[in-house]
């Protein structure tokens, strides 16, 4: 598929690719490849987080000088996608992974949100995959195998407009089944979309049963260590209306099959 970087539009554009791997033992790897255009300023960053049950979370991040892509590839300097291969190198965390899709890409709702000239797009580039590889950090490494996922969000909706209110997202991988869902409260609309076993479906049909939740991330998005905003944090909080994120890993059941899941809730002030 075409992984070209989207067009930047004035005064604000955000594009990010999110990748995760969920292992049967509860280990979770999260990787973000993203860029932000604000006025004439362009910021590009790669972040990664590894959560192992009973262990301290390991994190890595890198500022990158480029963001480009084409058919089947994307290059963010510190991270690269080449077909089924994902690699990233940061000071705190690095990995080389193979992510073999079980299904073709999907766009459950096109666009996800349209408001005047502005749009929010959500493309599930890899709805479900078999993932394996090695994750490394200073003094250690882990052979990781599980179910993979990748999606892309592109938006030119300025975050300082009081439009976005609440976002719910999640996904489940269970034996031969998989699903992902999204709900968005925005501009007086309650938007929902989902995907399950190769087809678009209502979000309600994709959620399965979630249990044994384990907290992964909680707090203001502007305070996330990997973003490295430093002195810009107060400015970003105000411009973005201070979104707060909570993300959980959990066990799940989908269509009668046991599995693993991850889900999150984001609220704007």
Q: Is 207 strand, coil or helix?
A: coil
Other Cβ atoms within 10 Å of 61 Cβ, number = 21
Closest CA to 149 of 105, 183, 191, 209: 105
Q: For residue range 206-254, list pLDDT tens digits in order.
A: 999 999 999 999 998 888 876 767 777 787 788 889 999 999 999 999 9
| Residue 194 clears pLDDT 80, i.e. is over it | yes
pLDDT reported for residue 226: 67
21 within 8 A of 129, measured Cβ to Cβ? no
Cα–Cα distance for residue pair 242/227, rounded to 1 Å: 14
214 within 8 A of 47, measured Cβ to Cβ? no
pLDDT reported for residue 89: 97
Mean pLDDT, range 37-41, rounded to an integer: 86
Write the burial class of residue 260 (CB in 10 Å: 0-12 exposed, 13-18 middle, 19+ buried). Answer: buried
* Domains in the chain: ranges and CATH: 12-267 (2.40.370.10)
Give the rounded distance of the alpha carbon of 38 from its chain centre: 21
Q: What is the dihedral of CA 240, 112, 130, 83, to 10 degrees?
A: -90
Q: For residue range 98-117, list pLDDT tens digits in order.
A: 999 999 999 999 999 999 99
Cα–Cα distance for residue pair 226/43, rounded to 1 Å: 13
Lowest mean pLDDT among 16-25, 200-209, 219-228: 219-228
Q: Is 222 strand, coil or helix?
A: helix
Kind and range of the H or E run holding 205: none
């Amino acid at each position: 598929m075409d992984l070209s970087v989207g067009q930047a539009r004035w005064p604000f554009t955000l594009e990010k690719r999110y990748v995760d791997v969920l292992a049967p033992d509860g280990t979770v790897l999260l990787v973000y490849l993203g860029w932000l255009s604000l006025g004439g300023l362009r910021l590009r960053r790669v972040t990664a987080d590894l959560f192992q049950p009973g262990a301290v979370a390991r994190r890595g991040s890198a500022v990158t000088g480029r963001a480009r892509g084409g058919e089947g590839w994307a290059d963010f300097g510190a991270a690269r996608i080449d077909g089924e291969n994902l690699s990233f190198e940061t000071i705190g965390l690095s990995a080389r992974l193979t992510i073999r899709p079980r299904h073709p890409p999907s766009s459950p709702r096109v666009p996800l949100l349209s408001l005047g000239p502005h749009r929010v797009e959500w493309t599930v580039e890899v709805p479900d995959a078999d993932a394996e590889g090695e994750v490394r950090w200073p003094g250690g490494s882990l052979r990781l195998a599980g179910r993979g996922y990748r999606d892309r969000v592109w938006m030119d909706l300025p975050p300082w407009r009081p439009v976005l209110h609440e976002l719910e997202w999640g996904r489940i991988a269970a034996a031969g089944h998989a699903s992902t869902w999204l709900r968005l409260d925005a501009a007086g609309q309650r938007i929902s979309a989902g995907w399950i076993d190769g087809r678009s479906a209502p979000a309600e049909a994709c959620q399965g049963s979630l249990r044994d939740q384990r907290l992964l991330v909680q707090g203001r998005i502007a305070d996330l260590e990997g973003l490295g905003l430093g002195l810009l944090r107060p400015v970003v909080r105000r411009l973005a209306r201070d979104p707060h994120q909570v993300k959980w890993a959990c066990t799940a059941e989908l269509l009668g099959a046991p599995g693993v899941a991850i889900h999150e809730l984001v609220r704007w002030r």
